[in-house]
Amino acid sequence: MDQLTQLVDSLTADDLLAIEREVKDYALAKGIAFKLANSPPDTVSLAPLTLFPSPFPRKHFDFGHRLQPLVNAVSHKIAYDHGFLADSLAKTVQVDDFTAKMFDVYTQVRREGMAQTTSLGLFRADYMLDERPDGGGGYDLKQVEVNNISTSFCGLAPAVRDVHRHVLAKYGASADIGDLDKRLPINRSTELMAAGLIKAYDYYNRSSAVILVVVEQVVVNIFDQRAIEFTVSRSRPDIRLIRRTFAQLRDAVRLGNNRELIVDNKHEVAVVYYRTAYAPQDYAGDQDWDVRLLMERSRAVKCPSIQYHLTGCKKIQQIVSNRQVVEKFVADRRDVDDLMQVFAGLWGLESGPDGDQAIDMALGEPNRFVLKPQREGGGYNYFGGQLARKLDEIRHTKERESYILMELIRPPKVPNHILAPNKSLAANSFRPSNITCEFGVFGTVMGNADEIILNSEAGHLIRSKTYGTNEGGVAAGFGALDSPYLY
Amino acid sequence: MDQLTQLVDSLTADDLLAIEREVKDYALAKGIAFKLANSPPDTVSLAPLTLFPSPFPRKHFDFGHRLQPLVNAVSHKIAYDHGFLADSLAKTVQVDDFTAKMFDVYTQVRREGMAQTTSLGLFRADYMLDERPDGGGGYDLKQVEVNNISTSFCGLAPAVRDVHRHVLAKYGASADIGDLDKRLPINRSTELMAAGLIKAYDYYNRSSAVILVVVEQVVVNIFDQRAIEFTVSRSRPDIRLIRRTFAQLRDAVRLGNNRELIVDNKHEVAVVYYRTAYAPQDYAGDQDWDVRLLMERSRAVKCPSIQYHLTGCKKIQQIVSNRQVVEKFVADRRDVDDLMQVFAGLWGLESGPDGDQAIDMALGEPNRFVLKPQREGGGYNYFGGQLARKLDEIRHTKERESYILMELIRPPKVPNHILAPNKSLAANSFRPSNITCEFGVFGTVMGNADEIILNSEAGHLIRSKTYGTNEGGVAAGFGALDSPYLY
């Protein structure tokens, strides 16, 4: 770690000017790019990334990977425990329209009887290092959230590692930064997540069927999605993948006699892989919810199924942070200990004394907390003064029950440079920034009420942002792709 | 070949719409892209490429590769035969200013005594299939030209093969197009050309020295250049490469006590790798010719040296197409036969009866010939009516001696689609185009007057253009990257 910090600090403006251009070109050549909404269709722009990998403790890196099968299993078991799911979300569905719509789809599918009882999950659990309150300079790993739908960047993360390996091999030699293949762990995220799709495809067991990738109208993060598709194709050229938007699907989907999902009257769908459908604005209206419902009613394997998707609600995350609840889903006591160790403080804001107490606590020290709605993906959360204003605004309404309160994590600052498209490091006078890292672990899980067929960690992701900025969505322009330098 | 043609013909507009988007995304993710002059610095655009590989006869493909060491050796031997070089170019330097300037550099370096007697060449010989005049439908391989400086696309050609392998594996399964790994030959052009640079670097034998890549101000084909640099770095992270324009070098280059080439007072240069300097407009004025001269006078290994560069003149190509001349440089009679077999008819236009006869012949059938100046790179040649007008204009001037006349090659038409940036196949109603292919073979050679130290073929390239268009420069927007489907 120290050697890397020294390297970052030792580079001159001249060095950095050349390295910046080289790393940007390397990244562009590797498809670390976005397709911007207002650009011509065959023109792409650099995705923000850090110039160097960021130091990350090997102990916590390994722990996150070891934990992932447990994280997968808990989501899976909740998704197949109807009573728990319904009870947990009972109040949320009254106040959060999006969760209510999802729950309604779930209810209708259940009432009819599930044509496909097996679900596929390509999940990602996000963590940060959190400074221990004892002042000893130590850090714990704390879970920020678990994403159960449209988890992004598993297709780009391995390429970021390659870029960083190149830059350290070429410019870090004099800095004695150690054995790069040990410091920069191989990341198999693309391959392992693709393997999840293939597993579900084979489970469906119809050689003429396709994988349907449901996508947004304008796909900024296209190369991440394509990397997974191309990886599926490389190992299984027999599997056809088709991409469709909700708008394209509206008049093009129907159910067959055995509730097969049929697209364009010719493609039977084995797997529905959602790369949209996670936010209210992804649905143009009821007609798109009708499409979602039809797909969920079908015998195609959904990634994720509506019940997997529901387990990603913040409300579930908050309820599960309780030890008694974890014990309900996890048998081994050491596993329970491991999970409890990564949960940050989480509080529901239900009407009543407990919720009132949580709100008072947050208003007393608003900088210690974050207020989160039920969405996945960044950009919706309230911090500090905004949190206080929002709590004041909602404390006497039912709306407060649609939020959860979470203890803010205090990650270490590390020096690095963030490369932003069409902006030179010269704009920051070539000074390193203090950045903070978010560490994601991908996971694949497939199963039904009777058994878990697949349960594995599936690689990792580091995204970083300038210290002091609260949101870190890379595609949203808040953060940068990064990779770990283990120490 | 027939199966591939059937596949191309069988695809519906719907198929093609999806495949086009997928192939463009695959290509962009692989760095098959250009950086346009007027775009923001971190924005790139698709490089034109064909949707499918194009059929090419294995026999001619293999023959081109087998021939390359001979082509390398002939260039090398001419470059080190001062009398031959001087005699051959004696008239050209009187009428062609650019050749004269090059020859002047060469003369000065010779007069002083060469500090570095060893040259590195990263060459590319370009061929086309030529319809046999017997009407039997057979084709011969004919050499279009040999490029000795700044040969492009060895860094992108392997990626084009990967794109085409993907599209055929995914969409060609039903067409029974055969074993793809046999049909689509592995292309090691990037690796082998990079190996040439490494060989020269090691020959120079100074571990602190760098490779200097001399580049244009605006580099459209940046990912081709970067691919070679990154490949050097991957296998030899100890080798530092620096990129400089002529403008940057003007005040930054000097010679050391032993004629070491020193850049920025700190980098000793082991190898000068030109990715510019091949056309008059690459030199802003005498100050850039001074830079070239200084580099040529240095003990750095030049890729290419001024004498290697001179052997790329069309005049040399024309003179060498004579059997007696070939025999002067090639000992083995079968080798002479092989070389003679690929030479198209070539004529000089010197003042006098031979030149007059050539001009009369061309004016009689202007569509059978192409008129070429001494440049490398496409876009300068005259065809058909323009050729006739140009010959009329210059026949009574000395200028005619700066041109050579070449028999036009008549390549077969093959059906394929050309993917152009920001233009959909819909614009052509999804109809395949008839295209013609140019087949390039890369070669690496290093040596001096006493010995040839390295001499190898170094992979291949196919570039294609719409039938009926005369120029095929991809970066200039005339052609498309392609790859061979061997039959």
User: Based on the domain organization, do B298 and B360 belong to the same domain?
Assistant: no
Helix, strand, or coil here: A267?
strand
Q: What value of ipTM does the predicted structure carry?
A: 0.94
Residue B469 confidence (pLDDT): 76
Residue B474 confidence (pLDDT): 67
Total domains, chain B: 2
Which tens digits make up the pLDDT trace of A339-381? 999 999 999 999 999 999 999 999 999 999 999 988 766 668 9
User: Based on the domain organization, do A272 and A403 belong to the same domain?
Assistant: no
Distance between CA B305 and CA A69 in Å, rounded? 60
User: Based on the domain organization, do B314 and B380 belong to the same domain?
Assistant: no
Which tens digits make up the pLDDT trace of B19-34? 999 999 999 999 999 9
Residue A240 CA, distance from chain mean position:
26
pLDDT tier at A468, thresholds 50, 70, 90? confident
pLDDT reading at B471 higher than 80:
no
Distance between CA A202 and CA A250 in Å, rounded? 27
- Share of residues in chain A with pLDDT > 70 (%): 96
Per the CB < 8 A criterion, the answer to whether A220 and A36 are in contact is yes
Longest pairwise C-alpha distance within chain A? 68
Q: CB distance from A477 to chain B under 8 Å?
A: no
User: Based on the domain organization, do B299 and B395 belong to the same domain?
Assistant: no
Residue A374 confidence (pLDDT): 81
Q: What is the mean pLDDT of chain B?
A: 94
Mark which of B375, B391, B408 sits at the end of a domain.
B408
User: Based on the domain organization, do B41 and B181 belong to the same domain?
Assistant: yes
Please state the rounded mean pLDDT for residues B322-348.
96
Q: Chain A to chain B, count of Cβ pairs less than 8 Å apart? A: 105
pTM: 0.94
Q: Quote the tokens at residue B369.
A: 């010939």
User: Based on the domain organization, do B377 and B403 belong to the same domain?
Assistant: yes
Distance between CA A133 and CA A136 in Å, rounded? 8
User: Based on the domain organization, do A332 and A393 belong to the same domain?
Assistant: no
Per the CB < 8 A criterion, the answer to whether B13 and B430 are in contact is yes
Chain A residues with CB under 8 Å of B34 CB are none
User: Based on the domain organization, do A101 and A26 belong to the same domain?
Assistant: yes
pLDDT reading at A455 higher than 70:
yes
User: Based on the domain organization, do B318 and B361 belong to the same domain?
Assistant: no
Residue B6 confidence (pLDDT): 87
Of A26, A29, A40, the CB nearest to B422: A40
Hey, are the CB atoms on B237 and A41 less than 8 Å from each other? no
pLDDT tier at B378, thresholds 50, 70, 90? low
Per the CB < 8 A criterion, the answer to whether A314 and A374 are in contact is yes
Residue B302 confidence (pLDDT): 98
User: Based on the domain organization, do B423 and B317 belong to the same domain?
Assistant: yes
Distance between CA B318 and CA B406 in Å, rounded? 8
Which tens digits make up the pLDDT trace of B157-194? 999 999 999 999 988 866 667 788 899 999 999 999 99
Q: Where are the beta strands (DSSP E) in B82-219?
A: 119-131, 139-147, 210-215
Please state the rounded mean pLDDT for residues B64-77.
98
> Can you state the percent helix, strand and coil of chain B, rounding each to 5?
45, 25, 35
Per the CB < 8 A criterion, the answer to whether A154 and A122 are in contact is yes
Provide the domain limits for residue B127.
2-344+409-486
pLDDT reading at A428 higher than 70:
yes
Hey, are the CB atoms on A422 and B41 less than 8 Å from each other? yes
Residue A309 confidence (pLDDT): 97
Check whether the bond before B133 is cis (ω within 30° of 0). Answer: no
Per the CB < 8 A criterion, the answer to whether A345 and A410 are in contact is no
C-alpha torsion angle, residues B215, B233, B119, B250 (rounded to 10): 30
Distance between CA B447 and CA B170 in Å, rounded? 45
Specify the DSSP element, H or E, that contains A181: helix A180-183
Q: Where are the beta strands (DSSP E) in A264-409?
A: 267-274, 301-303, 346-348, 369-372, 382-383, 404-407
Distance between CA B79 and CA B98 in Å, rounded? 18
pLDDT tier at A325, thresholds 50, 70, 90? very high
pLDDT reading at A173 higher than 80:
no
Mark which of B369, B390, B408 sits at the end of a domain.
B408
Of B29, B45, B234, the CB nearest to A223: B29
Please state the rounded mean pLDDT for residues B209-238.
96
Mark which of A392, A408, A424 sits at the end of a domain.
A408
pLDDT tier at A392, thresholds 50, 70, 90? very high
CATH code for position A350 = 3.30.1490.50
C-alpha torsion angle, residues B8, B9, B14, B18 (rounded to 10): 0
Active-site option among A54, A119, A148, A152: A152
**Cβ-count burial of B182 within 10 angstroms (0-12 exposed, 13-18 middle, 19+ buried)?**
exposed
The distance of B153 to chain A (nearest Cα, Å) reads 14
Distance between CA A203 and CA A198 in Å, rounded? 8
Hey, are the CB atoms on A25 and B422 less than 8 Å from each other? no
Which tens digits make up the pLDDT trace of A83-109? 999 999 999 999 999 999 999 999 999
pLDDT tier at A433, thresholds 50, 70, 90? very high
Q: Where are the beta strands (DSSP E) in B17-167?
A: 33-34, 43-46, 49-50, 54-56, 119-131, 139-147
| C-alpha R_g of chain B | 22
User: Based on the domain organization, do A171 and A253 belong to the same domain?
Assistant: yes
Residue B475 confidence (pLDDT): 65
Residue A2 confidence (pLDDT): 78
User: Based on the domain organization, do A335 and A363 belong to the same domain?
Assistant: no
pLDDT reading at A294 higher than 80:
yes
Active-site option among B275, B315, B372, B390: B372
Of B31, B46, B240, the CB nearest to A29: B31
The distance of B34 to chain A (nearest Cα, Å) reads 10
Of B28, B223, B233, the CB nearest to A170: B233
Asked if A378 is an active-site residue, the reply is: no
Per the CB < 8 A criterion, the answer to whether B47 and B237 are in contact is no
Residue A178 confidence (pLDDT): 72
C-alpha closest to that of B105 among B339, B224, B272: B272
pLDDT reading at A5 higher than 90:
no
C-alpha closest to that of B381 among B340, B409, B361, B357: B409
Nearest-Cα residue of chain A relative to residue B236: A170
pLDDT tier at B321, thresholds 50, 70, 90? very high
